[in-house]
């Protein structure tokens, strides 16, 4: 931590986990860019479960929250895919392990990034849930906001999920975007971990 990481550095450091924007699993997406390409993280649906006023915290699951523990480390970078962004307002929210959303005090949080643009979410793995006649794959919801950059609302998925696109019941969502599908390390007993790079576009 504290080191300035390029998107590619993050990819190499976290082999076995993921790395958006860096043309990871190109087999999933037909329009995947060339390796090493630099482009902003794609937006995704806000969904109906956002609630304003979540606590300032990134440990969003209480110690007694049921489920498999999950740590998601991330770094937010500028449109050059290498400059860390401080002062980014992060909002994160998710369903519980059974796919249910709760009020602002459960599985929701906010934070502002320090100089290195990094964040670390301590939580449990969310569950898939029924919506629109089918299942939505498990996901974390985010918004990232910073002056001088486009506000990004997006979702992060998991590679071992059977409900990713094209099965995803939300056809306008982006669960087929390889750049936002985390490959987790770990297991149910010890906990899971993954990492992600978020690239914000200039305003
Ligand atoms: Fe959701």
Ligand 1 mean position to 161 CA, how many Å? 14
Cβ within 8 Å of residue 192, ≥6 positions away? 68, 69, 70, 71, 125, 184, 185, 186
| Distance (Å) from CA 2 to ligand 1 centroid | 31
What's the CA-to-centroid distance between 157 and ligand 1, angstroms? 11
Residues listed for the chain:
203
Q: How far is the CA of 169 from the centre of ligand 1 (A)?
A: 12
Q: What is the pLDDT of residue 9?
A: 46
Tokens of 141: 């919801």
141 CA to centre of ligand 1 in angstroms: 6
Please tell me the distance between residue 3's alpha carbon and the centre of ligand 1 in angstroms: 32
Measured over the CA atoms of residue 149, residue 117, residue 10 and residue 19, the dihedral's sign is: negative
Q: What is the pLDDT along the chain (203 residues), one digit of tens a residue?
A: 333 444 444 544 443 333 444 443 433 444 555 667 899 999 999 999 999 999 999 999 999 999 999 999 999 999 999 999 999 999 999 999 999 999 999 999 999 999 999 999 999 999 999 998 999 999 999 999 999 999 999 999 999 999 999 999 999 999 999 999 999 999 999 999 999 999 999 99
CATH number of 7-29+40-199, picked from 2.60.130.10, 3.20.20.150, 1.10.10.60, 1.10.150.120: 2.60.130.10
Q: Any idea where the domains of the chain sit in the sequence?
A: 7-29+40-199
Please tell me the predicted confidence (pLDDT) of residue 66.
98
CA of 125 to the centre of ligand 1 (A): 13
Residue 36 confidence (pLDDT): 72
Q: Which residues are in the CB-under-5-Å shell of ion ligand 1?
A: 47
Distance 55 CA to ligand 1 centre (A): 19
**What pLDDT, on the 0 to 100 scale, is given for residue 123?**
98
Flag whether the pTM goes above 0.75.
yes
| Ligand 1 centroid from CA 152, angstroms | 16
- For the chain, strand residue ranges (E) read 69-77, 89-94, 108-112, 118-124, 129-131, 134-136, 140-145, 152-158, 181-182, 185-187, 191-199
């Amino acid at each position: 931590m504290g080191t300035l990481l390029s998107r590619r550095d993050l990819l190499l450091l976290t082999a076995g986990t993921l790395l958006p924007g860096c043309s990871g699993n190109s087999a999933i997406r037909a329009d995947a860019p060339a390796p090493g390409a630099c482009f902003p993280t794609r937006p995704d649906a806000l969904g109906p479960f956002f609630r304003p006023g979540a606590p300032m915290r990134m440990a969003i699951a209480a110690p007694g929250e049921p489920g498999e523990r999950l740590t998601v480390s991330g770094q937010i970078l500028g449109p050059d895919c290498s400059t860390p962004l401080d002062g980014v307002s992060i909002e994160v929210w998710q369903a519980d392990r059974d796919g249910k959303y709760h009020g602002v005090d459960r599985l929701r949080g906010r934070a502002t990034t320090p100089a290195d643009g990094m964040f670390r979410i301590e939580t449990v793995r969310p569950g898939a849930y029924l919506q629109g006649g089918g299942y939505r794959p498990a996901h974390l919801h985010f918004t990232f906001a910073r002056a001088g950059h486009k506000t990004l609302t997006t979702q992060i998925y998991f590679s071992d999920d059977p409900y990713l696109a094209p099965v995803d019941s939300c056809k306008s969502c982006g669960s087929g975007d390889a750049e936002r599908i985390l490959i987790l390390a770990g297991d149910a007993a010890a906990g899971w971990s993954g990492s992600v790079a978020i690239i914000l576009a200039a305003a």
